[in-house]
């Protein structure tokens, strides 16, 4: 019962902190000014994601003090998340060179993987595969990619918040399906923290998340997904399925830009969700579509895979094929202004 009240308290605290941060950003002129690479047209305060960071770190402290999460999970989530949020906060307030940001991202990922114990054994077509030290390296790269792809995908109002809330609540259902419901508290509380912020960020956004919030969410969700693999390989596959919209769009766009020889560190508007928002002329339909895809396509596939003990790799392919087709339809990675028929 106390933890149920904690959910409401965290959502309320996140909402209040976001309001304070919005006032702070306006007083310091911390505004995201629209340019030719932006998906918004009105100067908007940024940095509201700090509310998610502070409230979730508080939530982790409560869970740890109550013995609901072990020290390894507490330190993995809090350490990796805090380091990522700090470098993102500094970048929000003044440009940090890409090499230093990337170094901090790798340090955060290494910290998280160290406390988790590396990459758990994967079950692929019924065969358990332990990758050893290569698996640890793969886990670090995965966390760095999750951190950055979440930043890339936080480009229109509400999309990153809706993704986090639906993914976390879907993850809770997977824990229940895998008979591990007691492991769901971090995901539940993260959803509550994001929901409070989302009230301010839902289209039309009154404040943006900023790098501190988006990077934090990316690495924390990545750590949660890896930790799920230590509970059951099936649940790890389930998390990867739930993350499909962001993984497919960001990865497809990156690969296409790499093949074209673009400078991948430069800002752009070539993600599928960005093309879609311009086609519809507003952010709301795209943000809602992401939530609906998560709830009514990816979650059912992931749930059935975990509950009925289906093969995770096969389920992931089934879940991702329509997403790849959507990425193609909405021209993910294509140069803006180039006809889709070219």
Domain-wise residue ranges, the chain:
2-28+44-329
pTM for the structure as a whole = 0.95
Phi, psi (deg, nearest 5) at residue 128? -85, 125
* Residue whose token pair is 């910290």: 111
pLDDT in tens, 125-161: 888 889 999 999 999 999 999 999 999 999 999 999 9
Which tokens sit at 196? 């409070």
What confidence tier does 260 reach under pLDDT thresholds 50, 70, 90? confident
What is the number of other CB atoms lying within 10 angstroms of the CB of residue 39? Answer: 17
Residue 342 scores a pLDDT above 70: no
Which tokens sit at 295? 């709830």
Structure confidence at residue 118 (pLDDT):
94
pLDDT in tens, 62-81: 999 999 999 999 999 999 99
The helix (run of H) or strand (run of E) holding residue 339 is none
CA distances from 109 to 42, 231, 333 (A): 35, 20, 26
**Cα–Cα distance, 117 to 123 (Å, whole number):** 17
**Cα–Cα distance, 140 to 115 (Å, whole number):** 12
Residue 284 scores a pLDDT above 70: yes
Long-range CB contacts for residues 307-315, cutoff 8 Å, separation at least 24: 307/177, 307/178, 309/234, 311/123, 311/125, 311/126, 312/123, 312/124, 312/233, 312/234, 312/236, 312/237, 312/238, 312/240, 313/124, 313/125, 313/237, 314/125, 315/237, 315/241
**Cα–Cα distance, 315 to 232 (Å, whole number):** 16
CA distances from 126 to 122, 133, 239, 251 (A): 9, 22, 18, 27
What percent of the chain has pLDDT above 70?
A: 96
Between 298 and 97, where is the model more confident?
298
């Amino acid at each position: 019962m106390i933890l149920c009240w904690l959910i409401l308290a965290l959502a309320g605290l996140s909402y209040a902190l976001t309001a304070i941060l919005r006032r702070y950003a306006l007083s310091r002129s911390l505004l995201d000014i629209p340019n030719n690479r932006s998906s918004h047209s009105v100067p908007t305060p940024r940095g509201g994601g700090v509310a998610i960071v502070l409230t979730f770190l508080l939530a982790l402290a409560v869970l740890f003090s109550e013995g609901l999460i072990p020290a390894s999970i507490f330190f993995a989530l809090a350490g990796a998340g805090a380091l990522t949020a700090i470098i993102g906060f500094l970048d929000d307030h003044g440009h940090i060179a890409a090499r230093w940001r990337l170094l901090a991202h790798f340090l955060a990922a290494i910290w998280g993987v160290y406390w988790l114990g590396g990459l758990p054994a994967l079950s692929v077509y019924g065969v358990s595969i332990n990758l050893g030290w290569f698996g640890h390296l793969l886990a670090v790269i995965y966390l760095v990619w999750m951190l950055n792809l979440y930043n890339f995908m936080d480009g229109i109002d509400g999309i990153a918040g809706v993704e986090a809330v639906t993914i976390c609540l879907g993850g809770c259902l997977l824990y229940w399906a895998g008979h591990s419901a007691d492991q769901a508290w971090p995901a539940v509380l993260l959803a509550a923290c994001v929901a409070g912020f989302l009230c301010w960020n839902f289209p039309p956004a009154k404040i943006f998340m900023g790098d501190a919030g988006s990077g934090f969410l990316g690495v924390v969700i990545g750590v949660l997904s890896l930790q799920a693999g230590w509970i059951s390989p099936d649940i790890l596959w389930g998390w990867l399925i739930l993350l499909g919209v962001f993984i497919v769009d960001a990865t497809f766009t990156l690969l296409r830009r790499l093949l074209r020889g673009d400078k991948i560190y430069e800002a752009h508007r070539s993600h599928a969700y960005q093309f879609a928002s311009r086609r519809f002329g507003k952010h709301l339909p795209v943000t809602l579509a992401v939530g609906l895809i998560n709830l009514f396509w990816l979650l059912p596939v992931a749930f059935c895979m975990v509950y009925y003990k289906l093969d995770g790799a096969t389920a992931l392919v089934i879940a991702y094929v329509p997403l790849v087709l959507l990425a193609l339809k909405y021209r993910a990675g294509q140069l803006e202004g180039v006809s889709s028929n070219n």
